[in-house]
Amino acid sequence: MRAWLPAWLSHYRRDWLAGDVVAGVVVTLLLVPQGLAYALVAGLPPAVGLYASLPPLLLYGLIGKSHAQSVGPMALTSLLAAATLARLAEPGSGEYLALAVWLALLSGAMLIALGLARLGFLADFLSLPVLSGFTSASALLIVLSQLAPLLGLHAQGASLPVLLMGLLEGLGRIDTAALAFGGAALLWLAGARRALPPALARTAPALAVLAALLAVRQAGWEGRLPVVGPVPSGLPSLALPVLPWGRLGELMLPAFFMALINYVQSLSVAQLLAAPRRERVEPDRELLALGVCNVGAGLFGGFPVTGGLTRSLVNAAAGANSQLASWVAAAGIALVLLFAGDALASLPLAVLAAIIVAAVAPSIRFGVLRQAWRADRADAVAFALTFALVLLLGVESGIVVGVLVSLGAWQWRSSRPHMAEVGRLPGTQHYRNVARFTAETLPGVLFLRVDESLYFGNARLVRDAVLERLSERPELTTLVLIMSAVNRLDVSAVAMLEWLDDSLAARGVTLALAEVKGPVAAVLARAGLLERFAGRHYLSTHEAWERFAAAPEFHI
Amino acid sequence: MRAWLPAWLSHYRRDWLAGDVVAGVVVTLLLVPQGLAYALVAGLPPAVGLYASLPPLLLYGLIGKSHAQSVGPMALTSLLAAATLARLAEPGSGEYLALAVWLALLSGAMLIALGLARLGFLADFLSLPVLSGFTSASALLIVLSQLAPLLGLHAQGASLPVLLMGLLEGLGRIDTAALAFGGAALLWLAGARRALPPALARTAPALAVLAALLAVRQAGWEGRLPVVGPVPSGLPSLALPVLPWGRLGELMLPAFFMALINYVQSLSVAQLLAAPRRERVEPDRELLALGVCNVGAGLFGGFPVTGGLTRSLVNAAAGANSQLASWVAAAGIALVLLFAGDALASLPLAVLAAIIVAAVAPSIRFGVLRQAWRADRADAVAFALTFALVLLLGVESGIVVGVLVSLGAWQWRSSRPHMAEVGRLPGTQHYRNVARFTAETLPGVLFLRVDESLYFGNARLVRDAVLERLSERPELTTLVLIMSAVNRLDVSAVAMLEWLDDSLAARGVTLALAEVKGPVAAVLARAGLLERFAGRHYLSTHEAWERFAAAPEFHI
């Protein structure tokens, strides 16, 4: 029986309870406005955001490993969903909603498959600059997309030109009542973040919702400005909308893409939460849990979900000790769905827009760009390109180009390796770049260190660089290639070494190898090159040095 | 005046002359049947092969650097041209010919542009296994495509299924006269290669052509089997066929592709020829020369050309001392075009097909596959995939997938770095993998060497592996990260190191760095990490060892 319980439940400690309950209530207060708001970002009826919140809270509690991870609707995920769905169906249509559900189901299934196949490492190919550029540009897009509801306008879109056009067209039709509610909520949220103690600031969005509901009712303004509208009372029920096969095919690539982004986001939250408690994050388990959460959200009419950074930090700070906090929040959401649906109906959309803007604006950050510019120009270019293309072309094209740029730049650099002539630091057994250190050299012997694994991408260049150095210094009779930084070797590089050895032999120059690592030696052995280099293959640079210093005139 | 002459001409030595003239004549005898035959492979009238031969010989002599390089029609290039052109126009049509001319012009222009922009390194991304797989599969396709003319059938195509279908359909209509000529020529060529001295074997194709022409005339069989047909007498003239812009656009990608393949081929021939003479090959100059040759071929109604391996080796072996040999061959081709056009008209196509099969069959080689299978499985997969896809999908898709597989495999491996705990070889200052060598360790201190540059693709994995080792060995108080094999560092890896340092500090473990290379230290400095690691950053592993061996209880 105990084996079927989640680990945290089977050794639950009574003193965790208070913290878990408080955290669950705080998360509920945060999640209700977030759920409604992020459904709007995704172009869906606000109630869908609450449906999408309930199953993940329950399921993550069952199989998730992170004590404070709070899986549910997220701004970025919703923007991604909107970008995909707006291409495939009319926002507001039944088909649009059905596609949203299937996007959650498919991306969930893919997450589960990736977890079972242990392919979580795929997410590693999203570099930090690409992710930051993507997050910042997406946050900017989300803020811009919320200007329309803040001003009482209708506008949809997931790229900068479309959003700006929509805003410009609507400028003459600004709804002052919406603007008043939205502006007041924005000022309150910004003020609360600065002035209130953190514990209270977390409930600021819930207070804004409450105040707005009271104000609308008090003033009798229900019909005068855009509001959330009916939230059907009752829990979500299991239902699977039918879609033709062709439509599912169109969702495959976006679902894969969404799975990766949601996974990266969820994983980084889990790692952040685990660090201070010295918990170990199992990426493949996290994949599995997130996949099940998404399938759960989809089966109950929701849309894609992931681990939210703010919400999870709030959960942890409010005292969550275990996944029970998530179950308490689930109960809270269920209560809201059962009893508070009618009350939420007259909530102005402008207030939700203000909550989104306040939540997302801090994510527009250029710190990584500055850091990248100093440390690595290619990374800075990857950030800038991703940022610009997400804004101009949309989220998917932007991130795909960003990933290709990071991969291409890394590969390009590996094709132009750093090579250094090394010499001995006087009186030691240490060998360093003669251009950076005062080092001794041996007459007639060139000690050359190649700072890169050798493969097809750089084999020709390395060979040419070696030949160039030799023709510049005709007095050389020996070349010692120091392989301490050569981590791998492919067949093209093996062929190059053979060619180089023949070519140097024809010039009367001996080629010797030093510091060949285990894996590289294994490749040389399998290719039959260890025999060729027998007697010219030294364990250390120092061994080679002593050998050639002792008998400079004698070369094997 | 002298400055305008090619370098070889301005210091021409009289004793080169005999060798150059003999080589030029031998190349002419080889090039006439090759030119006719490779035009057929490209789906063009045989005479186009002769037009395409003349300008490159003259132009390469003017600006090319390799003494024996013989630029002209090539089997692989012709197959590539056929694969492209057959998609765009009806073989035999005027448009097909015009597209062939523009393919030469555009790929020539691209080669020149690549040469001026010094982008020759792009060709390095064709790894040896991909190139070998491509060459072997293409050779097999060429042999299969020549079975049709050998049997007197008509068949066109550039992929295995199409070729096999064509052959199967035609099986009932085999032309015995064509088969007799083709079979006899094939036997003669195969026998000549084995039995004749090399000097004579080179002229075997020309002798086959002569014998076939005499036999056809003697027997009066002109009308009874497919022959070359009219070869208009006279030199090719300058002419530019007009094509609509849209068609040119369709040629862009294939032209780029052809430029790369032709460049790789030409460059490897130039390097092979240069090696024994210790000449230096300038890749960008080679690009330029090949580009001019292709533009020249196109302007005079030819199709794409490149440096041919066999022909160049024949040129060198026949005694070519300078580019004058190419000019002699150009004169030979001009004489053939002026006076021997009528005589060639009755040459059976089956004989040309036999010449192609004999020339190309030795290129079907699996040596690299065997070598790659032993040395590097990913390379073997790249070979096999390229080979299979070239056969099944066609030359372009095959090589593109091959390149992506090699790049992806290399990148994938860099994402799973080898890490080794190292210890001191007793009594020395050398540190080696404790799993491979008998080495001392220090209690409480882990010396860990990461055998890969650190970047977004492996940052998380390295971090997790470090944390895993630390949690397995709770007695550790110090981790020395040996960076001798870390050649580069990106922003994601910098962030990982910061995170790791914080995380280890929280566990009471000191993180120290050793053997940080110049370029990596520069990145750390720019990112502000050198200050963070001040006092925990050792020049050598030995320095770190002595430091921690001296005061094991004291950790900064």
pLDDT in tens, A314-354: 888 888 899 999 999 999 999 999 988 888 888 898 998 89
CA A139 – CA A356 distance, rounded (Å):
10
**B277, B316 contact by CB (below 8 A):** no
Three-class DSSP category at B227: strand
Which residue in B410, B487, B492 is closest to A485 by CB distance? Answer: B487
Is the Cβ pair B491, A371 closer than 8 Å?
yes
pLDDT average, residue stretch B19-27: 90
Q: Label the pairing between strands B478-482 and B445-451.
A: parallel
| Chain A residues close to B121, C-beta within 8 Å | 415-416, 460-461
Residue in the structure block whose two tokens are 């071929």: B297
CA A412 – CA A376 distance, rounded (Å):
14
- Residue B275 banded pLDDT, cuts 50, 70, 90: low
Q: Euclidean distance between the first and final Cα of chain A, in Å?
A: 73
Please say if the pLDDT value at position B453 is more than 90.
Answer: yes
Is the Cβ pair A125, B526 closer than 8 Å?
no
Strand partners, A433: A422
Question: Which residue from A minimizes the CA distance to B459?
Answer: A124
Say if A413 is an interface residue toward chain B (CB within 8 Å).
Answer: yes
Q: Could you give the angle at the alpha carbon of B165 between the alpha carbons of B159 and B170, nearest 5°? A: 130
- The shortest C-alpha distance from A487 to chain B (Å) reads 6
Please say if the pLDDT value at position B553 is more than 80.
Answer: no
CA A419 – CA A515 distance, rounded (Å):
15
Q: Give the per-residue pLDDT at A556.
A: 42
| Chain B residues close to A121, C-beta within 8 Å | 415-416, 460-461
- The shortest C-alpha distance from B50 to chain A (Å) reads 34
Sequence-distant contacts of A154-163: CB under 8 A, at least 24 apart:
A154/A226, A156/A43, A156/A82, A156/A86, A156/A91, A157/A86, A158/A79, A158/A82, A158/A83, A158/A86, A158/A394, A158/A395, A159/A83, A159/A391, A159/A392, A159/A393, A159/A394, A160/A391, A160/A392, A161/A392
- Tell me which residues of chain A, numbers 76 to 105, contact chain B at a CB-CB cutoff of 8 Å: none
- Tell me which residues of chain A, numbers 533 to 552, contact chain B at a CB-CB cutoff of 8 Å: 539-540, 542
pLDDT digits (tens, 9 = 90+) for B57-110: 999 999 988 888 999 999 889 989 998 898 889 888 889 999 999 999 999 999
CA A424 – CA A449 distance, rounded (Å):
13
Is the Cβ pair A430, B491 closer than 8 Å?
no
Say if B125 is an interface residue toward chain A (CB within 8 Å).
Answer: yes
Tell me the whole-structure pTM to 2 decimals. 0.76
Closest among B69, B74, B83 to B52, alpha carbons compared: B74
Lowest-confidence range among A50-59, A289-298, B144-153, B157-166?
Answer: B157-166
DSSP-assigned states of every residue in A48-116: HHHHTTHHHHHHHHHH---SS--EE--HHHHHHHHHHHHHHS-TTSHHHHHHHHHHHHHHHHHHHHHHH
Helix ranges restricted to H, A151-244: 160-170, 176-195, 198-201, 204-219
CA distances to A537, B138, B334 from B58, rounded to whole Å, are: 48, 29, 11
Burial A233-256 (b: 16+ CB within 10 A, else e): eeebeeeeeebeeeeeeebeebbb
Q: Which of A379, A461, A490 to mutate to test the interface with B (most CBs of B within 10 A)?
A: A490
| Chain A residues close to B377, C-beta within 8 Å | none
pLDDT digits (tens, 9 = 90+) for A116-137: 988 877 777 788 888 888 889 9
Q: Label the pairing between strands A537-538 and B71-72.
A: unpaired
- The shortest C-alpha distance from A390 to chain B (Å) reads 20
Question: Which residue from A minimizes the CA distance to B524?
Answer: A375
DSSP-assigned states of every residue in B3-65: GGS-HHHHT--GGGHHHHHHHHHHHHHHHHHHHHHHHHHTTS-HHHHHHTTHHHHHHHHHH--
Which residue in A129, A484, A488 is closest to B413 by CB distance? Answer: A488
- Tell me which residues of chain B, numbers 9 to 68, contact chain A at a CB-CB cutoff of 8 Å: none
**B71, B56 contact by CB (below 8 A):** yes
Residue in the structure block whose two tokens are 């209130």: A196
CA B288 – CA B64 distance, rounded (Å):
8
**A165, A192 contact by CB (below 8 A):** no
CA B152 – CA B171 distance, rounded (Å):
10
pLDDT digits (tens, 9 = 90+) for A220-248: 887 788 888 888 888 888 888 888 888 88
- The shortest C-alpha distance from B14 to chain A (Å) reads 27
Quickly count helices (H) and strands (E) in chain A. 25, 8
* Amino acid at site A265: Q
Say if B276 is an interface residue toward chain A (CB within 8 Å).
Answer: yes
Q: What is the mean pLDDT of chain B?
A: 87
Three-class DSSP category at A485: coil
> Count of A–B CB contacts within 8 Å?
187
| Side-chain-side CA neighbours of residue A41 (13 Å) | 35
Q: Label the pairing between strands A445-451 and B445-451.
A: unpaired
- The shortest C-alpha distance from A355 to chain B (Å) reads 31
Strand partners, A71: A307
Say if B162 is an interface residue toward chain A (CB within 8 Å).
Answer: no
Please say if the pLDDT value at position A553 is more than 70.
Answer: no
Q: Which of A126, A471, A487 to mutate to test the interface with B (most CBs of B within 10 A)?
A: A487
Query: What does the block give as tokens for A212?
Result: 């707005």
Residue in the structure block whose two tokens are 């008509």: B154
* Amino acid at site A28: T
**A379, B490 contact by CB (below 8 A):** yes
Say if A125 is an interface residue toward chain B (CB within 8 Å).
Answer: yes
Q: Give the per-residue pLDDT at A155.
A: 64
CA A369 – CA A372 distance, rounded (Å):
5
Closest among A377, A395, A373 to A386, alpha carbons compared: A395
Q: Give the per-residue pLDDT at B156.
A: 64
| Side-chain-side CA neighbours of residue B544 (13 Å) | 32
| Chain A residues close to B433, C-beta within 8 Å | 518
pLDDT digits (tens, 9 = 90+) for A164-213: 888 888 888 888 888 999 999 999 999 988 888 876 777 888 889 899 99
pLDDT digits (tens, 9 = 90+) for B152-173: 877 666 678 878 888 888 888 8
Say if A339 is an interface residue toward chain B (CB within 8 Å).
Answer: no
Say if A375 is an interface residue toward chain B (CB within 8 Å).
Answer: yes
Is the Cβ pair B430, A372 closer than 8 Å?
no
Residue in the structure block whose two tokens are 């390095």: B124
| Chain B residues close to A464, C-beta within 8 Å | 283
- Tell me which residues of chain A, numbers 197 to 226, contact chain B at a CB-CB cutoff of 8 Å: none
Please say if the pLDDT value at position B196 is more than 70.
Answer: yes
Is the Cβ pair A490, B417 closer than 8 Å?
no
Strand partners, A514: A482, A538
Q: Label the pairing between strands B431-433 and B418-424.
A: antiparallel
CA B452 – CA B430 distance, rounded (Å):
20
- Tell me which residues of chain A, numbers 443 to 462, contact chain B at a CB-CB cutoff of 8 Å: 451-453, 455-461
Say if A169 is an interface residue toward chain B (CB within 8 Å).
Answer: no
Strand partners, A447: A480
CA B104 – CA B406 distance, rounded (Å):
28
- Residue B551 banded pLDDT, cuts 50, 70, 90: low
| Chain A residues close to B280, C-beta within 8 Å | 467, 471
